[in-house]
Structure 1
Amino acid sequence: MRREQRGTGHGHGDGHGHGHGHGDGDGGGAGRGSAGRGGRLARLRHALTPHSHDATEAIQSAEEASGAGIRAAWIGLAGMMATAALQLVIVAVSGSVGLLADTVHNLGHAITTIPLLIAFRLGRRAPTRRYPYGFRRAEDLSGVLIALVIAASAALIIVESVRALVEPRELTNLGWVLAAALIGAAGNEAVAVYRIRIGRRIGSAALVAEGHHARADGLTSLVVVVGVAGVWLGFPRADALVGLVVGLAIVWILAGSCRTIFRRLMDGVDDGTVEAIESVAARVDGVHGVGRVRARWTGHRLEADVDVNVDGAATVAEGHRIAEIVHHALLHRVRHLGHVVVHINPAYDGVVPEHAHELTAHHAGG
């Protein structure tokens, strides 16, 4: 939204910047006050967490959301690279196919963070005349690249596992393999918790998907533990079978990720989004009905448009005032909403006359 309200204690930029609370006592002013009272510890906590909003609340500012997404991507990348590096060393000394499969997938997952970071950076660029909606769609396109990398890693793992089943390899240093698998599980779960939490706060399907992907990585690391136990119990092909299970699990994860990516690219929204917009708009004083509502994701922000009915005898100024109130209410109460266009229809006794859209009716296709 590109309006600015002066004298109200807050401004609305591209998204919804706050200088006041949401009724829960956690507004921007409160956040600054508590930081001052808390001293260094509060400032450190403020720096490490995505600012003054509660963990379960959506971040309304687009700039703040992008910053939180970039920070989560970098922290996750560091964690995954450290885990994968340690696992690579143990793969080299043990020859474990199961651990190799887990490590390759962890490395592939780390690599997919790079296009996500680029997409977040692109999304912060200002709209242009050629791209008037901005560049946030780059985030959805990065999801396609991530899916391709996941597919390639799954293919490599399955091929290596089948080869090991046909030609069994002698495994050594099984204790180290077990330790690496447990470290991989713990490291990936830590990354998953952080990315999912931040992804939900900023409305980023790509970041949430990356978080679930990391959680699945942790589970596959635990599967490697099963392979080690099988080898210890005298079944040498257990390690290769575990690698094959990991590869198939990755294919299953990929299918779920592709569904989310496809929905976003096709302008699909989550269940309840349109209903939430209708409900909020309908409760505004002066609104006598809600017509067409549309919404779509552009990266991790929602764009929407809504038709509302007002008294046909109202002045232009009064109609604009009601539209402004609807706009403001929607920005506050619909999670991840970055911008909304409110169209006003004149209504008489609650009914919009047919002649109100007489000029454009033939363009509506029935």
Structure 2
Amino acid sequence: MSAAFGHTELPEEQAEALRRATRLAWGTIAFLVVGVTLVYLVMGSSQAMKAAWVEDLLSFIPPICFLVAVRYARRRPTPEHPYGFHRSVGVGHLVAGTSLFAMGAFMVFDSGSGLLAAEHPPVGLMEIAGHPVWAGWPMIAAMVLTGIPPVLLGRAKMPLARTLHDRVLYADADMNKADWMTALGSIVGILGIGAGLWWADSAAALFISASILRDGVTNLRVATSALMDSRASTVEGDAPHPLVGQVEEHLAAVPWVAEAGVRVRDLGHVFHVEAFVVPRGDVPGLGELRRVREDVVALDWKVQDLVLVPVEQLPADMLPGVDTAHRPAGTEHA
């Protein structure tokens, strides 16, 4: 049985990807509960361990946002929300990005202050099974144990995020894949303390904090741009989505269409398309317009809806990216 996003039924591939992504999100939360507890028990006064612990806490945000967003995105359109609730994905992405940015900025300040103040974090001995052990070894063991699973989870989530066109899941996967750097940075900082390099711990904490801040800036930029109705882009947010060109090419290939231009709004998992076409002669009948519309919607599951508008000439104010350089005389934009 396919899950539903608004009034768009997911194809089986996407429905299965959603089920797997949901299981991975719950698995990530369960792992983080264990990992956060373990790191808290051994972190002592190390700035690097503190930064790693805070990052683990922040790692709860993306999977929780994903689960909440998916739940809301399934709701049907209402009179108050005629486009459905797909934007919940964008809201979840914005929440995750804002949280990462705010905490990353604070941690950069906190770690940088510790480095400038030349703080010397003590890492003494602790007793394990009746034997005195340098406290750095349990810290390192905790980082190894908590650093490997997120990388595997991130690699499993990444293709699902692309299949579902889900930026919250993508941000979560990207953070998970980079967790090995956090673990490695913490280990280097702890070993630096053991070697008598007092600054290594704060430097490692600053490195981890900068990584969190970078993730926050990247996700905040992409989430804000999408919510401001920027041109539909890939899930990474760094290139126009190829579906935009495919829709234009399909419309331009219709025999009675002289010119076609589209603007595509990314609603979250799905797109809303507004297509403007210039007929070669008389405007075709309603049956033909409906057929063309249905053909375009059938191109890809992400085309949730399409508004097809016959016009005398393509509206430059609505389609500012349309190339007018090679148009025949008399068809230029006003």
Relative to the length of structure 2, the TM-score reads 0.76
**Structure that is richer in helix per residue:** 1
Q: 1:303 aligns with which of 249, 258, 272?
A: 272
Is it true that 1:85 corresponds to 2:44 in the alignment? no
Structure 1 contact 168–237 (Cα < 8 Å) conserved: yes
Distance 1:86 1:148 in 2: 27
In the alignment, the residues of structure 2 paired with residue 13 and residue 162 of structure 1 have an alpha-carbon distance, to the nearest angstrom, of 47
Q: Does 2:122 align with 1:170?
A: yes
8 A contact 1:16–1:338 mirrored in 2: no
Task: Give how far 1:70 is off.
Answer: 3.6
Question: What is the CA distance between 1:343 and its match in structure 2?
Answer: 3.3
Deviation readout 1:294-345 (Å, 9 max, x if unpaired): 11111221111223455646544344334433332x236xxx3222223346
Q: Does 1:338 align with 2:331?
A: no
The alignment's C-alpha RMSD in Å is 2.9
Offset from partner CA, 1:275-303 (integer Å, 9 cap, x none): 2221233345x353442201111122111
Going from structure 1 to structure 2, the CA distance change for 1:331 and 1:344 (only over 3 Å counts) comes to farther
- Structure 1: runs of 5 or more not aligned: 1-11, 19-51, 54-58, 346-351, 355-364
- Distance 1:82-1:291 versus aligned 2 partners, 3 A rule: same
Task: List structure 1 segments (4+ residues) > 6 angstroms apart after TM superposition.
Answer: none
The residue aligned with 1:282 is 252
Comparing 294-303 and 336-345, the one that deviates more: 336-345
Structure 1 residues 323 and 143: CA distance shift in structure 2, 3 A: closer
Q: Which amino acid aligns with 2:192?
A: G
Alignment of 1:1-366 (within 5 A): 14-18=7-11, 53=13, 59=14, 67=19, 69-91=21-43, 94-162=44-112, 164-165=114-115, 166=117, 167-172=119-124, 173-268=135-230, 269-270=232-233, 271=240, 272-284=242-254, 286-309=255-278, 312=281, 314-328=284-298, 330-331=299-300, 336-344=302-310, 366=334
Distance 1:323 1:249, change over 3 A: closer
| Fraction of identical pairs, as percent | 24
Size of the aligned set, in residue pairs, is: 291
Which stretches in structure 2 are left out of the alignment for 5+ residues? 125-134, 234-239, 315-332
Deviation at 1:204, TM superposition (A): 0.9
TM-score scaled by structure 1? 0.70
Q: Is the 8 A contact 1:331 1:339 kept in 2?
A: no
Residue 246 of structure 1 aligns to a residue in which SS?
A: helix
Given that 2:89 and 2:168 are in contact with CA atoms closer than 8 Å, whether structure 1 keeps it comes out as: yes
